[in-house]
Structure 1
Amino acid sequence: MNPSVFKAYDIRGIVPSQINPEFAFLLGRALGQRAKSLGHTQFVIGFDGRHSSPSLAEKLSAGIRDQGIEVINIGMVPTPLVYFHTYANNIGACVAITGSHNPPDYNGFKMMLDGKAIYGESVASLYTEMQALEKQALLAQNAKETTINIIPDYISRIVSDVKLKRPMRIAIDAGNGVGGKVAPELFRALGCEVDTLFCEVDADFPNHHPDPADPHNLEDLIHHVKTTDCELGLAFDGDADRLGVVTKSGEIIWPDRQLILYSQDVLKRVPGATIVFDVKCSRHVGEQIEAAGGKALMWQTGHSLIKQKMKEVDAALGGEMSGHTFFKERWYGFDDGLYTGARLLEIVSASDNPSAILEALPQDQNTPELKVEMQEGQPHALIKVLQEKAVLPTAKRLITIDGIRAEYEDGFGLARASNTTPVLVLRFEGRNEESLRRIKAEFKAMLKEHAGIEVTI
């Protein structure tokens, strides 16, 4: 086993050198052992459309059942449906086998036990548990596996609650990810006329990569929306737990701006609710949440970390710049790009011009995530130095919950260490080009002084 596949929020690696059926079987035994110790009797598993996913699911199930835990196999589905069945039936334990938006030769496992995402040290310790089990005889308890189709239940649950004010025509781009198996049917059931782009599941991703965080991957959707009668475009990542949105004019509405819209809507029904967002989000997110009467709580980046914080503070909503959005109000609090798309349409369907609503959301001059590649371990070491020694002359305060975020009167700058790859992540926002230039210059000077690196930003 390669310890590098045990990431901060999940397990992920290259198939078959790092992730293979033998690995999946051992992982199943380790998760089954943990589930048994917590009193669980059932485990939900589902998998995405990658070539390796069915065989990994088969062996994962065998490992779990070896420990005497019954497996409910919901087949090839988007990751959110794995969470949905687990929460809706109070089962508490699940694994989604998915490579998400990673290249085709990757795969991985997103895991939940006791109703909580497995992350951090809880992922890392699986390595030693699996090593120990490798030397132990099988229990051979061979609990049963039940295979079911939950797609109709999932769609029915959403349609029973989410109501559009009028029919809409939309375009959906699933990037040949597993979201294409559910999205067209769901949005037609909500009353939409749906144009589909790349909704056939194809593990080779022949059209573009299934990652709406990269503007290049939205070009086909933008072109389609601009040249047809579609009002909006929705794009999903490889396992459909993240959403991308484009307007009629071709503007990309990034997830932090979307979160402002969802916050304003939720706060109408839950006055004073806490809403959690990550350190990469625009300063407008916190300002707009508070303006709408909510409590704004900035937290660390990472879908598992946001979910955990939401539970701690009983938040009604959470969101990340990466596109993970977590509705607790009227839903279950997990990240679900499909459900988020439904809630978006519910809000904007009240207008004859949904794009105008979205484009009116506040926005400053900003950069996307800028990544500086470094050696393994270097980004975290650098951040520690910056948190202790850095001086940013015009910043009004520094936030160090995840990297170093400098808040200014007219913008923000962020440097943080990625928890998934050895890169330093930078992001900047300014009220205008002049503000943005000044904030970038301060960060460039800081990185040169404390790391000796020249960055182009």
Structure 2
Amino acid sequence: MIKANIFRDYDVRAIVPQELDKKGAIRIGQVLVNLFKPKTVAIGHDMRITADEIAGGIAEGIMIQGANVTDLGLISTDMAYFASGKYGYDLALSVSASHNPSEYNGFKVVKKGAIAISGNSGIYDIRDLALSDEKFIPAKKRGILSKRDIYDEFIKHCLSFTNLKKIKPFKVVIDAGNAMAGFIIPKFEKYLPIKVIPLYFKLDGNFPNHIPNPLLPEATSDLKKEVLKKKADFGLAFDGDGDRMYFIDEKGKLVTGTITTAMISEMILRKNKNKTILYNAVTGKIVPQIIKKYGGKGIRVRVGHTLIKEDMRKYKAYFAGEHSGHYYFKENYYADSAFVAMLIALELISEENKTLSEITGKYDIYPSIPETNFEVKDKEKVMKNIEKHYKSKADKIDWLDGVTIWFKDWWANIRPSNTQPLLRLNIEADNNEILIEKENEFTDLIQQLGGKKTKE
């Protein structure tokens, strides 16, 4: 079973087994070999209950076609990128559905050097060949399966991004959501002076406590309570495959991806002047202001991990941050890593000698709405009508990623989902009064154009 809808611009995600089963996973493994001609493929997976079915199926298909498979075992997605960059596998896969509910699984795949395979560079080719009637002739010599533990090298690599002597003995509550961070954080603990208070560290692909998506308020409510209860210095929340992270300050407030991007940008530019830093199209304007203040060159780019990795190489960028909690580093093979971001941020917080809320206060000056989704029938038509509505009034309008409307004291971006009939709305303003006014204004306008607000 392979359904066409599981293939997306940045990865593959499916309900198992209704949209992808083991037989389908085997065929996808065969497709990968026929399309990309790898001799060596590394495969790791998260703690999902269908990990053996999907990861094992893909590995089987790859070996049937004659390529060798290295089983990395339980890993975070950023560890697959590390394996690709460090060891030079022709392909590396992380079998995971990130923050999706337990019935989902899928994978991200990169070529040698952690070069992402996206909709523009192969994912839809994988789809088309997998769904075709083409029969694959098994290789005369079956590929070999081996195992490799990369944890020691991965942790050593991550620690190289920070000065451990500068990190203070913070008390930190970490919510792993019964997902990969609960397996990985203990491996860092012996190197760090921090005291970790674990929350939901036991691996459980059924996610009995909450879905591991830090952007959902219900997913961080227990963490916020625990930070306050234990009088912790701050908290950390990770997503399912451990490649995104968010801070919670000592007052129980979520630190946005925009603010964390600004923090890390400042930390990097203090040590490395004149570096190029990328930020995505819906990251708040404090980020380019901080980059400019500390002597960097900021470039605004499209949303999405595969696109940003391409732009990192294109612009020779040193760092990139997204509103979604993904942070990319040149010295991490231009790939994202939540653990590298965590370590850099720990050093910054230590150097400031202030509470996290005091530190983030200097960045948290532009209020914004949470990303809001609207279901629409014709995404392009609605965006064009929004452009038309503001064209004569706006200071500027651009179409870098969806349509962005710029005014002196506020901006809004409306961009389309690549896989669903949704438009995603982000608004930021100079004060709450303007923000509330514009949120109501855009909500009314999109609804008048046939949109319906949704939770998705």
**Range of TM-score over shorter length:** over 0.9
User: Which among 76, 81, 84 is matched to residue 83 of structure 1?
Assistant: 81
Contact 1:392 1:442 in 2 (8 A): no
Letter in 2 for 1:430: A
Mind listing any 5+ residue stretches in structure 1 that lack a counterpart? none
1:219 aligns with 2:218: no
- Residue correspondence of structure 1 range 173-212 to structure 2 within 5 A: 173-212=175-214
SS of structure 2 residue aligned to 1:308: helix
- Give % identity: 29
Contact 1:213 1:323 in 2 (8 A): no
Contact 1:174 1:180 in 2 (8 A): yes
Aligned-residue offset at 1:427: 1.2
SS of structure 1 residue aligned to 2:105: strand
Q: Determine the C-alpha separation between the residues in 1 that align with 2:291 and 2:411.
A: 17
Letter in 2 for 1:244: Y
Contact 1:273 1:295 in 2 (8 A): yes
1:152 aligns with 2:146: no
Aligned-residue offset at 1:21: 0.9
Q: Determine the C-alpha separation between the residues in 1 that align with 2:372 and 2:15.
A: 24
Aligned-residue offset at 1:277: 1.2
Letter in 2 for 1:237: D
For this pair of structures, how many residues does the alignment match? Answer: 449
Q: Determine the C-alpha separation between the residues in 1 that align with 2:443 and 2:10.
A: 30
SS of structure 2 residue aligned to 1:108: strand
1:168 aligns with 2:164: no
Q: TM-score scaled by structure 1? A: 0.92
Aligned-residue offset at 1:60: 0.7
Contact 1:244 1:254 in 2 (8 A): yes
Mind listing any 5+ residue stretches in structure 2 that lack a counterpart? none
Q: Determine the C-alpha separation between the residues in 2 that align with 1:354 and 1:339.
A: 21
Aligned-residue offset at 1:9: 0.6
Q: Determine the C-alpha separation between the residues in 1 that align with 2:298 and 2:198.
A: 36
Q: Determine the C-alpha separation between the residues in 2 that align with 1:456 and 1:197.
A: 30
Q: Determine the C-alpha separation between the residues in 2 that align with 1:136 and 1:148.
A: 29
SS of structure 1 residue aligned to 2:336: coil
Aligned-residue offset at 1:392: 4.6
Task: String of CA shifts for 1:28-69, please: whole Å, max 9, x gaps.
Answer: 111122332xxx421111001011111211111111122222
Aligned-residue offset at 1:336: 1.4
SS of structure 1 residue aligned to 2:42: strand
Against the structure 1 CA distance between its residues 399 and 187, is the aligned structure 2 distance closer, same or farther, given a 3 Å change threshold?
A: farther
Against the structure 1 CA distance between its residues 103 and 351, is the aligned structure 2 distance closer, same or farther, given a 3 Å change threshold?
A: same
SS of structure 1 residue aligned to 2:247: strand
RMSD value over aligned CA atoms? 2.1
Aligned-residue offset at 1:97: 0.4
Against the structure 1 CA distance between its residues 456 and 66, is the aligned structure 2 distance closer, same or farther, given a 3 Å change threshold?
A: closer
Aligned-residue offset at 1:212: 0.7
1:111 aligns with 2:112: no
Aligned-residue offset at 1:363: 2.7
Task: String of CA shifts for 1:349-370, please: whole Å, max 9, x gaps.
Answer: 2233341212332332211011
> In structure 1, what is the equivalent of residue 435 of structure 2?
436
Aligned-residue offset at 1:407: 1.6
Letter in 1 for 2:24: F
> In structure 1, what is the equivalent of residue 127 of structure 2?
127
Contact 2:43 2:72 in 1 (8 A): yes
1:373 aligns with 2:375: yes
Letter in 2 for 1:411: W
Q: Determine the C-alpha separation between the residues in 2 that align with 1:30 and 1:224.
A: 47
1:266 aligns with 2:268: yes
Q: TM-score scaled by structure 2? A: 0.93
Letter in 2 for 1:432: N
Letter in 2 for 1:273: K
Contact 1:278 1:321 in 2 (8 A): yes
Against the structure 1 CA distance between its residues 334 and 354, is the aligned structure 2 distance closer, same or farther, given a 3 Å change threshold?
A: farther
Q: Determine the C-alpha separation between the residues in 2 that align with 1:354 and 1:134.
A: 60
Aligned-residue offset at 1:133: 6.8
Q: Determine the C-alpha separation between the residues in 2 that align with 1:119 and 1:44.
A: 18
> In structure 1, what is the equivalent of residue 30 of structure 2?
29
Letter in 2 for 1:98: S
Aligned-residue offset at 1:453: 4.3
> In structure 2, what is the equivalent of residue 414 of structure 1?
413
- The more displaced of 426-435 and 232-241 is 426-435
Task: String of CA shifts for 1:85-141, please: whole Å, max 9, x gaps.
Answer: 111123242111001111110111101124311111421121222234752332253
Contact 1:174 1:235 in 2 (8 A): yes
1:447 aligns with 2:446: yes
SS of structure 1 residue aligned to 2:157: helix
Contact 2:376 2:450 in 1 (8 A): no
SS of structure 1 residue aligned to 2:390: coil
Against the structure 1 CA distance between its residues 446 and 20, is the aligned structure 2 distance closer, same or farther, given a 3 Å change threshold?
A: same
1:8 aligns with 2:9: yes
Contact 2:30 2:136 in 1 (8 A): no
Q: Determine the C-alpha separation between the residues in 1 that align with 2:90 and 2:355.
A: 38
